[in-house]
């Protein structure tokens, strides 16, 4: 994507918008054809159908539901007919990214028909007020910097890019070369780490007889290292593609309080937080940021009418699971994520509200020890959760889970049951009454 971005910067900046759209369509289609041959027609079909839905059904709830059902059904059918027991690079990989784009477009187009007073500030920011042309929808869908693996971005930001507005210097090309180079360099660093580490840590060993014969402590330690390394392939892809988006200007996100331009609009990773956080919630908010933001914006917050935050969160994670694929492992992974997040929040609240635990946690000399223990716990059970996500099929992830006695499920379900009783013991009654008030 970097040569394409350089060409667009040099020759197409502030040119006619239709030229930008046409360029993105041609480059995106060339990437699709190079990787998947004639199977690129799947994306063409879905884009054309989406355009017809917008034009024929307009800004209606029917258009939103039709979009959701058609695009998800097409993706599910693709998963069903191309499924294997391994991670394959096939047309469904970019198509899952496209599916979110087109569903988000339909919802933003629907919001564009409402008065601003009936929208949240976030909805107003992304609402599509005009009527996109087929070329515009296609350019948005095929943008070369995000076609294969993301990140997600809105039609409104894409329209600003086409108008030459995504720049820190109005009327001039964005000063984004150095920020883009930094993300590319960081991505290549993670690529080297992943490539070298994968020589010694692999999915195959995790399900091998040799692994099963190792001592329990070794199996858990290997899972910790494996979980840490396996995610670096995603980190690499997202950092490299983010650099493309920054280079062309799509990553521009305004200025901070000091007036310094920010280039994180397309950031899918907060690398420092990801590497240093001892919390599962910290990993979640620092990893796959734009996809998580998309799910929060278009699924979680739209389920507010249910009146139950936990139910909305569970349904959002269920959507994420089936969006990833039809393998049982995805459902188990996101079920585990929900369980761990619930338990972690209860533990944090318990430590905060208990005088004994909060005093213990505030002892300066003990903080490094607590941090190391948290990190070991965090990465061990993150690796545990990733086993079904990466091994996909029932027989593989069950084999691994049996070998470690389902320790993650046993631990966190036990904590879920025990923590309320621990709270009764460790939190004074006056603290409970104060919290209730």
Q: Has residue 292 been placed in a domain? A: no
pLDDT of res. 40: 95
Q: Which of 138, 163, 188 is the last residue before a domain boundary?
A: 163
> Which two three-digit tokens encode residue 291?
């996809």
pLDDT bin (cut points 50, 70, 90) of residue 1 is: confident
Annotated catalytic residue, options 288, 290, 292, 378 = 288
Last residue of a domain, one of 113, 142, 163: 163
Name the band, by pLDDT with cuts 50, 70 and 90, for residue 433. low
Has residue 432 been placed in a domain? yes
- Relative orientation angle of helices 309-324 and 328-353, to the nearest 10 degrees: 150
Which of the following is catalytic: 253, 324, 349, 377?
Answer: 324
Strand partners of residue 261: 255
Does the structure show a pLDDT above 70 at 437?
A: no
CA dihedral sign, ordered 315, 317, 323, 326: negative
User: Is 324 part of the annotated catalytic residue set?
Assistant: yes
Torsion of CA 182, 188, 191, 192, to 10 degrees: -120
With both helix axes pointing from N to C terminus, report the angle between 328-353 and 429-436 in degrees, rounded to the nearest 10. Answer: 110
Tell whether the model's pLDDT for residue 434 goes beyond 70: no
Q: Residues 103, 302: contact at Cβ < 8 Å? A: no
**Could you give phi then psi for residue 347, rounded to 5 degrees?**
-65, -45
Q: How far is 328 from 321, CA to CA, in rounded Å?
A: 9
Q: Is residue 214 part of a domain?
A: no
Please give the residue range of the domain that contains residue 417.
308-436
Q: What is the DSSP string of 153-217?
A: --HHHHHHHHTT--SSSTTS--S-HHHHHHHHHHHHHHHHHHHHHTTT--HHHHTSHHHHTS-HH
pLDDT, tens only, 148-205: 998 999 999 999 999 999 999 998 999 999 999 999 999 999 999 999 999 999 999 9
Tell me, yes or no, whether 343 lies in a domain.
Answer: yes
CA 96 to chain centre: 12
Residue 61 inside a domain? The answer is yes
Question: pLDDT tens across 292-341, in order?
Answer: 999 999 999 999 999 999 999 999 999 999 999 999 999 999 999 999 99
Per-residue pLDDT tens digits for 70-86: 999 999 999 999 987 77
Look at residue 86 in the predicted model and tell me its pLDDT. 72
Residue of 421, 428, 424 lying closest to 355 (CA atoms): 428
Distance CA 72, CA 321 (A): 12
Q: Considering the chain, what percentage of its residues have pLDDT values greater than 90? A: 92
Three-state DSSP at 255 gives strand
Q: What's the per-residue H, E or C state across 280-328?
A: HHHHHHHECHHHHHHHHHHHHHHHHHHCCHHHHHHHHHHHHHHHHCCCH
Tell me what pLDDT residue 27 has.
Answer: 97
**Chosen domain end from 163, 188, 213:** 163
The reply to whether 327 belongs to the active site is: no
Indicate the number of domains in the chain: 2
Q: Give residue-wise pLDDT tens across range 70-127.
A: 999 999 999 999 987 777 789 999 999 999 999 999 999 999 999 988 999 999 999 9
- Which pLDDT does position 431 carry in this prediction? 53
Question: Has residue 302 been placed in a domain?
Answer: no
The pLDDT value recorded for residue 430 is 64
Using alpha carbons, select from 398, 280, 423, 421 the residue that is nearest to residue 339. 280
Indicate if the pLDDT at residue 271 is higher than 90.
yes
Q: Which of 187, 266, 274 is nearest to 233 (CA)?
A: 187
**CB-based contact 236:190 (threshold 8 Å):** yes
DSSP string, 42-96: HHHHHHHHHHHHHHHH-SSHHHHHHHHHHHHHHHHHHHHHH--SS----THHHHH
Phi–psi pair at 232, nearest 5 degrees = -65, -25
The answer to whether position 215 is within a domain reads no
Assess if residue 234 is contained within a domain.
no
Tell me if 92 sits within 8 A of 78, measured CB to CB.
yes
SS3 26: helix
pTM greater than 0.85 (yes/no): yes
Average pLDDT across the chain, whole number: 94
């Amino acid at each position: 994507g970097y040569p394409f971005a350089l060409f667009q910067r040099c020759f197409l900046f502030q040119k006619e918008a239709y030229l930008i759209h046409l360029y993105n369509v041609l480059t995106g289609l060339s990437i699709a054809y190079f990787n998947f041959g004639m199977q690129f027609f799947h994306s063409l079909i879905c884009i054309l159908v989406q355009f017809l839905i917008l034009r024929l059904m307009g800004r209606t709830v029917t258009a939103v539901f039709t979009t959701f059902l058609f695009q998800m059904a097409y993706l599910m059918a693709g998963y069903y007919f191309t499924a294997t027991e391994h991670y394959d690079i096939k047309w469904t990989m970019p198509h899952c990214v496209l599916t979110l784009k087109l569903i988000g477009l339909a919802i933003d187009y629907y919001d564009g028909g409402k008065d601003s007073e009936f929208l949240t500030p976030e909805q107003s920011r992304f609402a599509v007020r005009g009527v996109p042309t087929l070329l515009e929808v296609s350019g948005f869908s095929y943008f070369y910097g995000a076609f294969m693996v993301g990140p997600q971005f809105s039609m409104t930001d894409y329209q600003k890019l086409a108008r030459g507005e995504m720049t820190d210097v109005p009327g001039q090309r964005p000063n984004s070369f150095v920020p883009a180079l930094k993300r590319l360099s960081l991505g290549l660093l993670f690529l080297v780490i992943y490539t070298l580490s994968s020589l010694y840590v692999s999915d195959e060993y995790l399900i091998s007889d040799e692994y099963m014969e190792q001592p329990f402590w070794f199996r858990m330690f290997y899972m910790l290292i494996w979980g840490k390394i396996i995610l670096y392939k995603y980190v690499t892809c997202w950092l490299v593609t983010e650099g493309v988006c920054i280079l062309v200007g799509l990553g521009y996100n305004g200025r901070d309080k000091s007036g310094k331009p920010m280039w994180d609009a397309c950031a899918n990773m907060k690398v420092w937080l990801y590497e240093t956080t001892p919390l599962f919630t910290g990993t979640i908010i620092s990893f796959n940021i734009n996809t998580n933001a998309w799910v929060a914006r278009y699924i979680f917050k739209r389920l507010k009418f249910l009146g139950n935050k936990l139910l909305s969160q569970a349904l959002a994670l269920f959507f994420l699971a089936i969006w990833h694929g039809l393998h049982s492992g995805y459902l188990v992974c996101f079920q585990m994520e929900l369980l761990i997040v619930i338990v972690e929040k209860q533990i944090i609240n318990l430590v905060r509200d208990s005088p004994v635990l909060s005093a213990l946690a505030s002892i300066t000399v003990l903080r490094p020890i607590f941090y190391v223990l948290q990190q070991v716990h965090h990465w061990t059970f993150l690796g545990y959760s990733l086993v079904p996500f990466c091994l996909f099929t029932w027989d593989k992830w069950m084999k691994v889970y049996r070998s470690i006695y389902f320790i993650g499920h046993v631990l966190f379900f036990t904590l879920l049951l025990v923590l309320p009783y621990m709270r009764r013991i460790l939190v004074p009654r006056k603290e409970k009454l104060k919290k209730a008030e």
